[in-house]
Copies of this chain bind each other. A is one copy, B any other.
Amino acid sequence: MLIKKPVNINGANMKLVVDPEATLSDVLRGQLHLTGTKVSCGKAQCGACNVIVDGKVVFACATKMNRVPDDAVITTVEGIGTPTNMHALQLAFVKHGAAQCGFCTPGFIVSGKALLDQNLNPTREEVRDWFQKHKNVCRCTGYKPIVDAVMDAAKLVRGEISVEDLSFKMPEDGKIWGTDYPRPTAVGKTTGTIDYGGDLGIKMPPGTLFLKLVQSQVSHANILSINTSEAQQMPGVYKVVTHKDIQGKNRITGLITFPTNKGDGWDRPILCDEKVFQFGDAIAIVCADTEEHAQAAAEKVNVELEVLPAYMSAPEAMEPDAIEIHPGTPNVYYRQGIVKGEDTAPLMEQADVVVAAEDLYVGRQPHLPLEPDVALAYYDDKGNVQIMSKSIGLELHALMIGPGLGLEAGKNLFLSQFPGVGGTFGYKFSPTIEALVGAATMATGKPCFLNFNYYQQITYTGKRSPFFMDLKYGATKEGKLVAMESNWAVDHGPYSEFGDLLTLRGAQFIGAGYAIDNIRGAGYTVATNHAWGSAFRAYGSPQSFFASETLMDMLAEKLDVDPLELRYLNAYRPGDTLPSGQEPEVYTIPQLIDMIRPKYEAALQEAKSCSTPEKKRGVGVSIGVYGCGLDGPDGAEAWAELLPDGRVQVSTNWEDHGQGADMGLLATSHEALRSMGIDPRRIKLVMNDMNLAPAGGPAGGSRSQFVVGNAVVRSCEKLVQALKKGDGTYMTYDEATATGIPTKYVGQWSTATADATACDADTGQGKPFASYMYGVFLAEVEVDTKTGKVRVVKMTLAADVGRIANKTVIDGQMYGGIAQGVGLALTEDFEDLKRHTDMLHCGIPYIKDIPDDIEVMYLETARDLGPHGASGVGELPLTAPHAAIGNAIYNACGVRIKQLPALPAKVLAGLQGRDIPTVTRPIKDPVMA
């Protein structure tokens, strides 16, 4: 049953034939392939699909075609500007780095266009109100660069500035390192022309199969039978794939399991065979000619289950009577100890002051990237399986899923990224649906495409693992820390990959930033039936710092000293070491505190003067530290090659999830090649495809700029050296080939150069990272004493991330990380499987939830080992901002939130003197059967 719908889209008159029940986004994307309009939440919560219909901003994902008026005039991002004819908004978004992953960008551009159409002189607050009204959500930028861009676009349209003012001006020295050179993908992102996975899937060749999953609706069960016969007969169905069709081990492996881990790491099925371990687990894949047919058939797959008790938190799974989730492996399957310096028990006894908390907790923060998970697979012309996805660890993931599929990474299995990756924030450090599309392609021989909806994104992919933490400090009466005792249990969900590593992070970062010579404690990795744990920006450190930075504030209070000065007193000075015993590569925390001190003092003043009984203002601080790289030895490779046309091709898999890998690679390689006088536009980047580029290693742990960057510099320097002639000029391609000089150079680098070593499982001691990032956070909040609702008024960060590769990109990382910290502090959680299944109810911050006033100050301490002096970047801003916010809440109203998020109900309970609802229980001495 179809209808005809006459519309004008981007100036073109069309008579479309549509299903009246289809959404406008279905039609724009699926029928017209106008894929600039993105679909994210799918339920009018996020504005990614915003288009203009008859002058009004509407959610294309929630507008059925029978509600689109005949002859409606519709504008999508493609109609606002094109790569060769960009609109002021697009130019300004490029200028301000307002597109990071870029997935929300078309929605913002469209929404912004509608705003400027009706108000060409908006104030910043009007811009923020507008995006709030139209629910435009950005998860990367912290919103500030977007508001900056709209303000500048308005100026350009008003004629107050010129296009040149929004364009990059090449400095006279030709150096783009450290400038605001726009990232290469910015034009594609602002014009909606870069293809994300869902876009490329739509644009696949005919015959591509569309997949839908049959997923578990319970959290723990034995599978008795899977009956696909009815589904197999449904229209358009090619095949229903189950575990029986999988040619390998049907398990995804985390590759390395610490030797003392009681599991073997082969616990995560591609398709469930004997058991279901968590809600959303994949049981079967329907491959059909359309998504609609696949979905209809998926509903006809009959799965018989024997439901088992589900353990939805670490404490539950640690109960002595809990059954083993993976039979044969105890639920508490790994212990990470920390033993530094002297025994702490006597020190605690002797300490002037002891402060402790047994109920510290950070929740299951959902990543909430705007782009839902997506992947496709096909056989290439050599018969190899090619998988495209949002993977931020191509070689790693090929190795992790290869055995399960019966394929060999780099031999007959190749991974690559989609051109656009709409944010991962770490969840794609683990493979998610790669193995599913691979299995489907192997079972059908056909190209296969699987695009999650947002419900699936939330319920299927990994989450930040909750930490249940006990912590105790002993200190002198002056406040000098003398001992720390820490215990933490990690709810890692049912799958063990990287769970031991995450647990180690507690040893590395609880108390980091401070000289603490004596530490004792242990962390435990616990299997549960709640969401499996995956990496999340600042991996393990937000939990760790929430404990140690909250307790630091409690100590300051107990000592009645200023919390910033207490931190200053304890911050690393030369000779001090990290909890791992490693010496920091630079000792800049005191300088960072010096930088922030005037802001802090002004903030205290302002809080005092602005506080009212209804709206109490408060100020809090925290310190954050994070290492750059994988633990211990961590390497990368890059190639630099002179092309016949004189361009230089730089190749490496420096995966991008919106953080700016393209800009990082360009800035790093250009600076290394600059002596040749090359224009950055003459550098060709070949990235993120196992078929084309060498391994850079996964793009996580703030390692890429540092580790991959070093490999890039090596390759470029070799090229420069090889081509340099006696007179200081450089050989052309023809000269080089004529004289037999190779034109391609391999650069490799490893943290082994810096004697990096893994940490010991019992003691946590080692030299895990070759470089670190340091930051001091300052939060200013306002607590509504009637509702308990907390508003963050301003965030300030003094950061040392080494030399800055690109100011715009790094600013964007800082703003975005801080915004995620605001969410982590106040709203974000994935706990309730019924309620926490969309963006809104997971607590994603909208623009008005994030302060427009975010200030980042840099201390550019060059790192000797870093490429052009750089360290890492991306994790720092999410290490500890939430802790500063928690401390500010206490400072404002005296309510100590020890379990995040600090929901209004909790704050209000504290304000009213009631018990604050808790999820924790002490986790000392767990049973490790």
Contact = CB atoms under 8 A, between A and B. Distances in A.
Contacts of A346: none
Contacts of A13: 185, 188, 193-194, 419
A292 interface: yes
Interface string A12-40: 11111111101000010011110000000
Nearest to A17: B204
A236 B209 CA distance: 11
Contact of A79 (B1, B20, B30, B84): B84
Contacts of A17: 200, 204-205, 376, 378, 388, 447
Interface string A186-201: 0110010111000010
Contact of A85 (B33, B85, B205, B419): B85
Nearest to A65: B205
A176 to B, nearest CB: 19
A235 interface: yes
Nearest to A19: B205
A648 to B, nearest CB: 14
A575 interface: no
A82 to B, nearest CB: 6
A1 B289 contact: no
A419 B203 contact: no
Contacts of A85: 82, 85
Contact of A2 (B11, B193, B235, B380): B380
Given A17-B205, A79-B84, A84-B10, A1 B380 contact: yes
Nearest to A204: B17
A207 interface: yes
Interface residues of A, number: 63
Interface in A142-194: 185, 187-188, 191, 193-194
B292 A83 contact: no
A381 interface: yes
B84 A206 contact: no
Contacts of A200: 15-17
A587 interface: no
Question: Max chain B CB contacts within 10 Å: which of A11, A16, A293?
Answer: A11
A455 interface: no
A595 B282 CA distance: 83
A296 to B, nearest CB: 10
A858 interface: no
A10 B188 CA distance: 11
A130 interface: no
Given A17-B376, A380-B2, A292 B10 contact: no
Contacts of A10: 82-84
A289 B194 CA distance: 28
A379 interface: yes
Contact of A203 (B3, B32, B206, B376): B32
A4 interface: yes
Contacts of A32: 33, 203
Given A1-B381, A191-B12, A206-B290, A235 B235 contact: no
A758 to B, nearest CB: 37
A85 B235 CA distance: 44
A178 B310 CA distance: 81
Contact of A83 (B12, B84, B185, B376): B12
A386 interface: yes
B207 A293 contact: yes
A291 interface: yes
Interface string A417-435: 0110000000000000000
B379 A1 contact: yes
Contacts of A31: 203-205
Which of A19, A195, A206, A380 has the largest number of chain B CB atoms within 10 A?
A206
Interface in A824-848: none
A154 to B, nearest CB: 20
A14 B83 contact: no
A729 interface: no
A416 B191 CA distance: 35
A691 interface: yes
Contacts of A378: 2, 17
Interface string A269-297: 00000000000000000000111110000
Contact of A188 (B1, B12, B381): B12
Contacts of A386: 2, 4
A381 B419 contact: no
A238 interface: yes
A684 B8 CA distance: 13
A462 to B, nearest CB: 27
A131 B580 CA distance: 74
Contacts of A22: 205
Contacts of A235: 238
A386 to B, nearest CB: 7
Interface in A880-913: none
Contact of A195 (B15, B19, B418): B15
A866 to B, nearest CB: 30
Taking each of A13, A17, A187, which has the highest tally of chain B beta carbons within 10 Å of its own beta carbon?
A: A17
A64 to B, nearest CB: 13
Given A379-B1, A379-B2, A381-B2, A207 B84 contact: no
Nearest to A185: B13
Contact of A11 (B193, B195, B207, B376): B193
A145 to B, nearest CB: 22
Interface string A33-75: 1000000000000000000000000000000000000010000
Nearest to A27: B205
Contacts of A689: 4
Contacts of A691: 4
A386 B15 CA distance: 14
Nearest to A71: B684
Contact of A3 (B3, B289, B381): B381
Given A20-B381, A205-B2, A289-B236, A83 B195 contact: no
Given A30-B206, A85-B85, A691-B4, A14 B381 contact: no
Interface string A343-362: 00000000000000000000
A205 B203 CA distance: 15
A17 B292 CA distance: 23
Nearest to A12: B193
B1 A206 contact: no
B195 A14 contact: yes
Interface string A375-398: 010111101001010000000000
A71 B647 CA distance: 13
Contacts of A2: 205, 378-381, 386, 447
Given A2-B380, A32-B33, A194-B13, A18 B205 contact: yes
A195 B27 CA distance: 15
A15 to B, nearest CB: 5
A14 B293 CA distance: 29
A21 B246 CA distance: 30
A8 to B, nearest CB: 9
Contacts of A206: 30, 290-292
Given A11-B187, A12-B188, A27-B205, 14 more contacts: A2-B378, A2-B381, A3-B381, A10-B83, A11-B82, A12-B191, A13-B194, A13-B419, A17-B447, A31-B204, A31-B205, A79-B84, A206-B290, A206-B292
Interface of A: 1-4, 10-20, 22, 27, 30-33, 71, 79, 82-85, 185, 187-188, 191, 193-195, 200, 203-207, 235-236, 238, 289-293, 376, 378-381, 383, 386, 388, 416, 418-419, 447, 684, 689, 691
14 contacts: A2-B386, A4-B689, A11-B82, A13-B419, A16-B203, A17-B378, A27-B205, A31-B203, A31-B204, A31-B205, A33-B203, A82-B85, A85-B85, A289-B290
Q: Which 6 residue pairs are nearest across A and B when measured between Cβ atoms?
A: A11-B83, A12-B193, A33-B33, A289-B289, A206-B290, A11-B84
